[in-house]
Amino acid sequence: MAVSLKVDLNCDLGESFGRYTLGEDAEMMKWITSANIACGFHAGDPTVMARTVALAKANGVAVGAHPGYPDLQGFGRRQLELSGEDIGQMICYQLGALEAITRVAGLRLAHVKLHGALYNLAASDSMIARVVSEVVYAFDSALILVGLAGSELTRAGEAVGLRVAQEGFPDRAYLPNGQLMPRSQPGAVITEPGEVAQNVLRLVQEGVPVNGERVRVDTLCLHGDNPNAIRNVLEVRRALERCGTIIAPLCEIVLG
């Protein structure tokens, strides 16, 4: 069985950079329980990070690190051929950078979620999944590792002893092996609000099918960078309330 009685709502935030503004962070913060904050490689800069952490604090939202490839122009969505060593150190670097800003703000880092092409790589490549899990554990073994439900990353995270959150995407189409359909394919991104709401229900009530098995979903990813972001998140919350699923932060869902 893969029913989620409680689910966390996470969103990628802090994606502005210098003069460039992206996303409706202030509004999204009111409706989510976990903020994945960009760490300055694919998006964000130190000042944006600090302001986003402050916003999370003011709204009582848990702060997580959202490391990505060093590729601002591609927004971390373009695959880049890095060695395992480079990936491990690059993630460690970004974890520390955000942890420092979070610490100075008087908060604790709660979770880690990789971004974009790096997220996809770690979901499907077991070697990279292990490298990522090991560096997160070595940095702070109390962090919750968020990864694609039923993926190599959540498997590797559990293997090294991390608490792991299985993530579901209500606005993305899935492949039969549980991987996300690439954004380049038609139908990969679901924009119709009603369909998104239905996916939310299926994800929390049935989990994600991964090669025939069903994996529970601990957290739902919401997107904050499209014109309907706020309407969508309200729709998702309503759908959850209707079916009696409680919205709660990861630390109440993924126990040690």
Chain residues binding a second copy by CB under 8 A are 17-20, 22, 40, 43, 45-47, 49-50, 70-75, 78-82, 85-86, 89-90, 92-101, 103-104, 117, 135, 138-139
From the CB of 85, what's the least distance to a second copy, in Å? 6
From the CB of 149, what's the least distance to a second copy, in Å? 25
Q: How many residues does the chain have?
A: 256
From the CB of 109, what's the least distance to a second copy, in Å? 10
Q: CA angle at residue 72 from 36 to 66, to 5 degrees?
A: 15
Q: CB-wise, 88 or 150, nearer to a second copy?
A: 88
Q: CB-wise, 50 or 153, nearer to a second copy?
A: 50
From the CB of 234, what's the least distance to a second copy, in Å? 25
From the CB of 99, what's the least distance to a second copy, in Å? 5
What 13-16 contacts at long range (C-beta under 8 Å, 24+ apart), as own/partner pairs, is 13/37, 13/38, 13/52, 13/55, 13/56, 13/224, 14/38, 14/43, 14/44, 14/48, 14/49, 14/51, 14/52, 14/53, 14/66, 15/43, 15/44, 15/75, 15/225, 16/43, 16/44, 16/48
How far, rounded to the nearest angstrom, does the alpha carbon of residue 167 sit from its chain's CA centroid? 7
Q: CB-wise, 87 or 208, nearer to a second copy?
A: 87
Q: CB-wise, 73 or 255, nearer to a second copy?
A: 73
Q: CB-wise, 28 or 210, nearer to a second copy?
A: 28
